[in-house]
Structure 1
Amino acid sequence: MPHLAHVALIVRDYDEALDFYVGKLGFILVEDSPVPEQNKRWVTIRPPGAPDRATTILLARAATPEQAAFIGNQSGGRVFLFLATDDFARDHAAFTRAGVEWVRPPALHAYGKVAVFKDLYGNLWDLVQFSQER
């Protein structure tokens, strides 16, 4: 059955992206393999606690000026990715201690608790704890 294997996130530099996603957000490095014939690396990460076979984020270094123009604005200024948590307070506090920039403070909605943060490039993310399992 078809499923999403990876979602590409355009980055400026692999190591600075890993410092943010693994170092600040606690994501798990799944793979970091050189692809010398294309002068790139195959770098995938996933949130902590996600199943081994879960969709991963592929950190894709911009290879052209056209690609670089979209770093930090892959969704035209809308929230791009949604990071679900089972403990909003824990993760919000951990991200805050790590220096994550919050764009919208925590708010309660019918679907759950959510706050919006920027990644190191400016892409917007929701940190969300759903009120019911989705």
Structure 2
Amino acid sequence: MTHLGLTTIVVQDYDEAIAFYRDALGFELLEDTRLDDGKRWVVVAPPGARETAVLLARAVTGEQEARVGDQTGGRVGWFLNTDAFDRDYARMRAAGVVFEESPRQEPYGTVAVFRDLYGNRWDLLQLRRPGGPAR
């Protein structure tokens, strides 16, 4: 069996990125290992995530720095699934997460777009259960 293990988000600063993903999004810090040349191997994931996590990689070149906050050309690049949309939406807003819109219903579920601390766009998403309402 195979699965997607990590996805990378290029950040400006390790510690501010850890604080945002941990404190505002509620992620767990899974690993923070120091490497050579001031680099770190920093992995975060939503609580209970079993397969996929996020590698926070500090930009070290001008090309990488230019991508911080716009890694997907303005499109939503990450989808944070929840089983309790209202709870997580309220918690994230209280923690200072900036949502671009109010929650909306789509055929696939309840969704609202938010930005991370650098401006990357994410969906907070509660998928519709087959045969049932989104929430």
The equivalent position to 2:79 in structure 1, one of 82, 93, 96, is 82
The alignment partner of 1:92 has SS state of helix
TM-score, length of structure 2 as denominator length = 0.92
- The gaps in structure 1 that reach 5 residues or longer are none
Runs of 4 or more off by more than 6 Å in structure 1? none
Residue aligning to 1:40: 39
Q: What is the identity, as a one-letter code, of the residue corresponding to 1:110? A: P
**Deviation string for 1:86-127 (max 9, x for gaps)?**
000000000010011111210011111000000000000000
Distance 2:104 2:46 in 1: 22
Residue aligning to 2:125: 128
Distance 1:64 1:79 in 2: 24
Confirm or deny that 1:92 pairs with 2:89. Answer: yes
TM-score, length of structure 1 as denominator length = 0.93
Residue aligning to 1:24: 24
- The gaps in structure 2 that reach 5 residues or longer are 131-135
Coordinate RMSD, CA, aligned: 1.1
The alignment partner of 2:102 has SS state of strand
The alignment partner of 1:69 has SS state of helix
Residue aligning to 2:133: none
The alignment partner of 1:93 has SS state of helix
The alignment partner of 1:105 has SS state of coil
Percent identity over the alignment is: 52
Richer in strand (by share): 1
Distance 1:77 1:45 in 2: 23
Distance 1:39 1:101 in 2: 30
